[in-house]
Each structure stands twice: as structure tokens, then as C-alpha cells.
Amino acid sequence: MNTLTTRTLEAPGATLTYDVRLNETSDAPVLLIIGSPMGAAGFGTLAGHFADRTVVTYDPRGTERSPRTDGSTLTTPAEHAGDLHRIIAALGTGPVDVFASSGGAINALALVARHPEQVRTLVAHEPPAAALLPDRECALAANRDIHDTYLRSGFGPAMAKFIAIVGHKGPIDADYLKRPAPDPAMFGLPAEDDGSRNDPLVGQNVVSCTHFEPDFDALRAASTRVVVAAGVDSEGELANRGAHAVAERLGTTPVLFPGGHGGFLGGEYGQTGEPEAFAARLREVLSGPA
């Protein structure tokens, strides 16, 4: 059985908290499992399927146990990449394998572009790369509107718009932008504004993440094996289309994974995907060419 320890690391502007599930008998590379802004709590089920190696999960800056110390209300993929670089260096184990989902995939692409020597294989699962889509103008405007709604009206109205765009299949066009705002109550969200403006998703990351454009020249030149992954059940959704756009720029084809955007979830946050099949597919991809 792996031994779980929790560690902290001081970084410029944040204290990072990460969990190490140590397997002292394994000679496989450490598996770093990340999301953004989803923290370590979202990956308990997936991590449990890799008890035969050391697994590391973490809370990105501004999320759960990793508070920002600089008072900033915006976090960028470059900052996240710097944090990941520091955590991998602190592990002291050499190159790691990385499974990165959603915003975590955006951040991991930024990491590999800067520090390819730290990552053996990156599986980038459904990066919401709206800036690479043919409908980028409207897609970026819709994501910025989520943030602006948060600043203006608070969490519930903004999160309702986020849920709506995540589940939307097909291009984000001018007609989408003209739609009436969804009712937060439809999603069990509060309509009233509690005055807080520190939410890591609709506050700190939604704009910087979706607007980020990876350095594809650096990625193509990297020693890291980069595998882009897309969910079978999320075809047509923004993050799935982002995966296809990233893969096209890299000259590859996305590898299909079971389930949708949260296919790895095993009840975390009340959501269940296909975690056993998802983990089996991830193991297969990490073991060799997809």
C-alpha cells in the first residue's frame, strides 16, 4: 500500500500544497495528476488505480489548500507552469509522467514548452483552448462574459453561464452570445451575490486559461512525448474541440478516452464517469505509443 504524505512548498505569491502517494518499490516514473482549478480532491479515484507507482496530486494556487499570498485575483498558465516546475524539482525524482485535465492540460502544455526535461510523457486531456478554435472570437467573448458576470453579479449567475458553455455542443456563435442568461436556480446555484470575488474558476482562471495559446514550436521540438486526449462522450463540446485543435497544431490525432470531460471521476463532487475504464486507457497510453 502506498504511503500518503502531504507537503507544502513556498512559491512566489502562493503556498502550494501537494500530496505524495509514495510507492518505494516502483521504478516507474512518478505520475503527476493535475487539473485546474480542480485540486487534488478531484483525483482520488484515478490516483487509486495507480498504486503500483508513486502518484502526486496538488491544489493549484488559489485553490483549496494552496492560498495565494500576494492578493492577486488573476492566475495565468505561466504562473501555474512555474508552480509545477517547482513541485517536480522538489520531488527530486527525475522526469515524471503527467496526466493533466481541462485547465490543467493548458498549464501542462505551458510547462512542457518551458521545461521539457522534466516531463517524459504528457497526456493532455481536453484542454479548453478556445483561442485555437475557428469560432475563437465568440468563444473568447463568451468566456470573458462569464468573468465579467462574476465581477458584476457574483458566483451563481457566473457559474450558471459556465455550466451552460461547458455542455454546449458545436461552435459558439453570435446567436449563442445573444441568448438569455441561464437561471442559476436551474443548476441549484444561488442567485444572490455574497460579495466575494475570490473564486478560482470564474474569478481567477476562466479568462487566462481559455485565452492561452501554447508555444507549438517549443512543444514540437520538445523531448517530451505529448499525447492529446479527448472524451468519447464529449464530442462537440468546447474542451473536446480544444483537444482536437491542439492535436492538429501538433500534427497528431487525439487519443479517445472513455466518458466525457470528467470521465476519470469516481463520485468526486457528486459526479461519476467511467474511472476504471479511464484508468485502464491512461495506463495503456503511458506505457507506449498511442
For 85-96, how does the pLDDT look when each residue is reduced to its tens digit (9 = 90+)? Answer: 999 999 999 999
Asked whether the predicted pLDDT for residue 290 surpasses 60, the reply is no
| pLDDT score recorded for residue 40 | 98
Q: What is the rounded average pLDDT of the residues 219-241?
A: 98
Q: Is residue 126 a contact partner of residue 229, using CB atoms and an 8 Å limit?
A: yes
The crossing angle, in degrees rounded to 10, of helices 155-167 and 238-250 is 60
Question: Measuring CA to CA, how many Å separate 208 from each of 13, 124, 143, 258?
Answer: 17, 18, 10, 28
- Per-residue pLDDT band at 1 (split at 50, 70, 90): low
Contacts of 228 (CB under 8 A, 6+ apart): 124, 127, 243, 246, 247, 250, 252, 254, 255
- DSSP designation for 58: E
In this structure, what are the phi and psi dihedrals at residue 287, rounded to the nearest 5 degrees? -80, -15
In the chain, where the domains are located: 3-129+212-287, 136-206
Whole-structure pTM value: 0.97
| pLDDT score recorded for residue 207 | 98
CATH superfamily label, 3-129+212-287: Alpha/Beta hydrolase fold, catalytic domain (3.40.50.1820)
- Per-residue pLDDT band at 2 (split at 50, 70, 90): confident
Grid look-up 486526449 returns: 229
